[in-house]
Structure 1
Amino acid sequence: MAPSDLPVTGHLVAGELIDGTGGDAVAVHDPSNGAVIGYAGLGDDALVARAVAAARAAQPGWAATPLRERMAYLDAWRGKLAAAADSLTELVIDEMGLLPAFARNVHVGRAVACLERLEELAEAVLAPRREGISLIVREPAGLVAAITAWNFPLHMLVSKISSAVALGNTVVLKPSEVKPLAAWAATRLLAELDLPPGVVSVVGGTGPAVGAALVAHPDVDMISFTGSRAVGRRILAATAATITRSVLELGGKNPALLLPDAPLDTALPAVLGSCFFNNGQVCGAQSRLIVPRALLGEVEDRLVGLVADTAAGPPRAAGTRLGPVVSAVQRDRVAGYIRAGVDSGLRLLAGGPGAPDGLPDGSADGYYIRPTVFSDVPPDHQLAQEEIFGPVLTVHACDDVDEMVAVANGTRYGLTASVWSADLDRSVAVARRLQAGQVVVNGGGFNLSAPYGGVKESGNGREHGREGLAELTEVKSMQLPA
């Protein structure tokens, strides 16, 4: 039973906020010290059925609502999220163990930013076009079931809901029960908007219960899922009978290629920053560094110095550069990979098994991982093939660019990659050879208006930008008289 003095997340169904039940709730832990800071209330298949019925009933009227009127609700939500940035940031720090500036600028900042160009992009996607005698239009997909991951819970909830709703879809979303507090705060702000009942429902719960009920429901028109490859496969199997469309983002094992003329002063801190981004828990992390063999010694020396400056500790402590991972389960999983690397004889440059040294009092029960780098790793090694989802970098030496590209493409994944060279055209030429949905070239920044998604077993479809919005529509062509 959840203690009465700790928050319990609930549900939003058919315009009604429903309290979570303490008896069935899942504990939410502060990763910096292991303390319980709240509970995730769990829904069930009956609540899913109620939410889907409300969404189905609301969809025709919402689709007929002009884009400008739909966007007025979302603009109001954006304003509420921006006004609540301070409190949302504190929730993100507490439940995710992230440094304050990162929590505010990335987690909260991107949640607000994904709403800023939405009307312009939606208008472009929905604009009819002529193709000879045909009039081609895009219409809402219908009822979208969305399921989010725990590593960006606030941004994913806002992005998946707003993208679908802007285009005239209705949404039933299951947030992660692992890290639900900031997402629930954003849901409560959404409930203040007086949207037509059923346009958006949020049902908390576990994947095997609420997620499975959503995926299997015959009234769901499409599924938007971010999470593991294993769950993505189960979704595809479950929807085969109904041919339900899906957009799946299933992670990556992403390479960073330093070409022989790469600017190491710029490239190495950026690659390490990507690997340790979100405390190492991001699907797009550049976790494989591929370098010319002639540069291996210099790269190793520089990495050792950079990691030495990456102090792991509590997110609000002075000097901390890397916070904890989100849970004891995740800590043990990442530590298991590190031990496997050591046990198999990989050359350890920095980090290794065990908690970081010098943790302050009160942090012993936190979920800390030492930032770790292994070098000269065989490309077929477990650590080079499997998504670790923690602050662990593997370094691979190659004899020429062709071998670098082959190593980069030599996994089942294909989400992101990066290429570094003093010559932009050369970087772009190599980027065109990489099997990845998005490639960072010479340190280019993240763009919420660009499509994001993967190839191979990193998933299908795209999110963000025009291409991502188009996934949430169906195409109709009308053949007019000549």
Structure 2
Amino acid sequence: MVSLRENQFYIGGEWQEFADIIHLPVVDPASEEVVGHIAAGDAHHVDQAVAAAREAFPAFSQSSVSERLALLGRMHSLLLERSDLFADTLVKEMGAAITFARASQVPFAAEHIRVQMEVLEKYRFLTVDQHTATAKEAIGVCALITPWNWPLYQITAKVAPAIAAGCTIVLKPSELSPYSALLFAELMHDAGIPAGVFNLVNGTGESVGGALASHPDVDMISITGSTRAGVLVAQAAAPTVKRVVQELGGKSPNILLDDADFREAVAKGVLAGMRNVGQSCSAPTRMLVPAHRLGEVEGLASATARAIRVGAPLDPLTDMGPIANRAQFERVQIMIQAGIDDGAKLLCGGLGRPAGLNRGFFTQPTIFSEVTSDMRIAREEIFGPVISIIPYKDEDEAIAIANDTV
């Protein structure tokens, strides 16, 4: 059904088709070929979606907990039923290895819904403390902006709690990996979502995201994305004093203390940093290790990275597919070059695609050692399969290094 939605947005409980609309290409990162297009919305479409959400809010915010639990339960069941379809779509739109999509991307997304049901069952919307009663109410219309790196997972992470609280929603998924969001909108329709409670408008951050952030009838905006995008959303949201929730970039440290089991900790650290091709804001990409054990760590880390099988994402033997889009692929290559130029010790990987792969946004799992905190690869988020090993002399220095980021 996704291919039939190229001119459509889900607004007010139905798929609405718009003529004379701009289209954006969707590229398969494994082949670099355009596999379809999506409609690119603007402020006009945002106005319609927000109006539908605003109209639906009074009734939905007063719905019973049991009604919302039943809705979440139907969403959860449908997601599990359609898990293979979602996994295949994630492969096509962002290059996730099929085994990873089936084992992590889709099940973790389903877990957001299931856990939200557990929370809702026990949540106290009204508490009374002697002479004071505190009522917790739905915020209102929530604009949800989701990224391309965990497309379905981030949608359920935002939609499920909004539904549980009784809020209405306008979702803007990433235009770079939009198909799983279209499938999710179909799922919401089939789950019996009341008209206007869930709405979807595709488009760019500048156009749709900006219109949502500044819209006076949006009560809260939640964005997961780059720090640059987060700043723009916060600035646009300020004049209407709406609630702003952000999950932005990261440069997480992973401190290995001297008494750790290094055979286990180093391998797990490398794999955690390179999970989802390193495209996670929480990826522990700075590995801090005792200076006197640097050589040991280098050997263990290199062996782990070299064992990662990079290749066609539909091959069940593949561990790591391509970077999700061309812009990010080029960004990772620039940062690997920066590591080389700054004098870091390249242990494995490096520039260009892995051997035998001549097309697609495939990147070599790369590890640098002898990295210092003034190097770009230690300070800037790379968002690719690149680990920086940083030696420290004692725990106080390790903590100082860990905290020494913007």
When normalised by structure 2's length, the TM-score is 0.96
Partners of 1:280 and 1:357 lie apart in 2 by 20
What does residue range 48-197 of structure 1 map to in structure 2 within 5 Å? 48-197=46-195
Partners of 1:5 and 1:68 lie apart in 2 by 35
Partners of 1:210 and 1:78 lie apart in 2 by 28
Q: CA deviation at 1:134?
A: 0.9
CA deviation vs aligned residue, 1:146-180 (integer Å, no higher than 9, x gap): 10011111121222112101111111111111001
Partners of 1:266 and 1:92 lie apart in 2 by 30
What does residue range 177-256 of structure 1 map to in structure 2 within 5 Å? 177-256=175-254
Partners of 2:36 and 2:124 lie apart in 1 by 41
| Residues 1:97 and 1:6: Cα distance change in structure 2 (over 3 Å) | farther
CA deviation vs aligned residue, 1:379-429 (integer Å, no higher than 9, x gap): 1211101110000000100010111111111112xxxxxxxxxxxxxxxxx
Secondary structure (helix, strand or coil) at the match of 1:189 reads helix
Q: Say whether the 8 Å CA contact 1:225–1:247 is kept in structure 2.
A: yes
Q: Say whether the 8 Å CA contact 2:253–2:285 is kept in structure 1.
A: yes
Partners of 1:409 and 1:391 lie apart in 2 by 22
Partners of 1:169 and 1:232 lie apart in 2 by 22
CA deviation vs aligned residue, 1:319-368 (integer Å, no higher than 9, x gap): 43221101111111100000111122211111111111122xxxx22001
Secondary structure (helix, strand or coil) at the match of 1:115 reads helix
Q: CA deviation at 1:318?
A: 5.9
Give the aligned residue type for 2:379: Q
Partners of 1:353 and 1:92 lie apart in 2 by 26
Q: Say whether the 8 Å CA contact 1:41–1:205 is kept in structure 2.
A: yes
Partners of 2:349 and 2:44 lie apart in 1 by 48
Give the aligned residue type for 1:13: I
- Residue in structure 1 matched with residue 269 of structure 2 by the alignment: 271
- Residue in structure 2 matched with residue 404 of structure 1 by the alignment: 398
- Residue in structure 2 matched with residue 383 of structure 1 by the alignment: 377
- Residue in structure 1 matched with residue 314 of structure 2 by the alignment: 316
Partners of 1:204 and 1:7 lie apart in 2 by 11
| Residues 1:120 and 1:254: Cα distance change in structure 2 (over 3 Å) | same
Partners of 2:26 and 2:248 lie apart in 1 by 24
Secondary structure (helix, strand or coil) at the match of 1:253 reads coil
| Residues 1:6 and 1:264: Cα distance change in structure 2 (over 3 Å) | farther
- Residue in structure 1 matched with residue 388 of structure 2 by the alignment: 394
Q: Say whether the 8 Å CA contact 1:6–1:37 is kept in structure 2.
A: no
Q: CA deviation at 1:41?
A: 1.5
| Residues 1:5 and 1:215: Cα distance change in structure 2 (over 3 Å) | closer
Q: Say whether the 8 Å CA contact 1:14–1:54 is kept in structure 2.
A: yes
Between the two proteins, what is the percent identity of the paired residues?
Answer: 38
Secondary structure (helix, strand or coil) at the match of 2:113 reads coil
Of the three residues 334, 337, 345, the one matched with 1:336 is: 334
Partners of 2:316 and 2:235 lie apart in 1 by 48
What does residue range 450-465 of structure 1 map to in structure 2 within 5 Å? none
The runs of at least 4 consecutive aligned structure 1 residues that moved more than 3 Å come to 4-7, 19-23, 123-127
Q: Which has the higher helix share?
A: 2
Q: CA deviation at 1:128?
A: 2.2
State the aligned residue count: 405
CA deviation vs aligned residue, 1:81-124 (integer Å, no higher than 9, x gap): 11111111111112221221210121111121111132331244
Give the aligned residue type for 1:116: R
Secondary structure (helix, strand or coil) at the match of 2:187 reads helix
Partners of 1:354 and 1:404 lie apart in 2 by 32
- Residue in structure 2 matched with residue 351 of structure 1 by the alignment: 349
Tell me the C-alpha RMSD between the 2 structures: 1.7
Partners of 1:285 and 1:76 lie apart in 2 by 32
Secondary structure (helix, strand or coil) at the match of 2:221 reads strand
Partners of 2:219 and 2:386 lie apart in 1 by 39
Partners of 2:174 and 2:230 lie apart in 1 by 15
Partners of 2:265 and 2:104 lie apart in 1 by 21
Q: Which runs of 5 or more residues in structure 1 are unaligned?
A: 413-482
Q: Say whether the 8 Å CA contact 1:145–1:172 is kept in structure 2.
A: yes
Q: Say whether the 8 Å CA contact 1:9–1:181 is kept in structure 2.
A: no
- Residue in structure 1 matched with residue 31 of structure 2 by the alignment: 33
| Residues 1:7 and 1:18: Cα distance change in structure 2 (over 3 Å) | closer
Q: Say whether the 8 Å CA contact 1:17–1:191 is kept in structure 2.
A: no
Q: Which runs of 5 or more residues in structure 2 are unaligned?
A: none
Partners of 1:16 and 1:103 lie apart in 2 by 29
Partners of 1:84 and 1:319 lie apart in 2 by 23
Q: Say whether the 8 Å CA contact 1:8–1:21 is kept in structure 2.
A: no
Q: Say whether the 8 Å CA contact 2:93–2:176 is kept in structure 1.
A: no
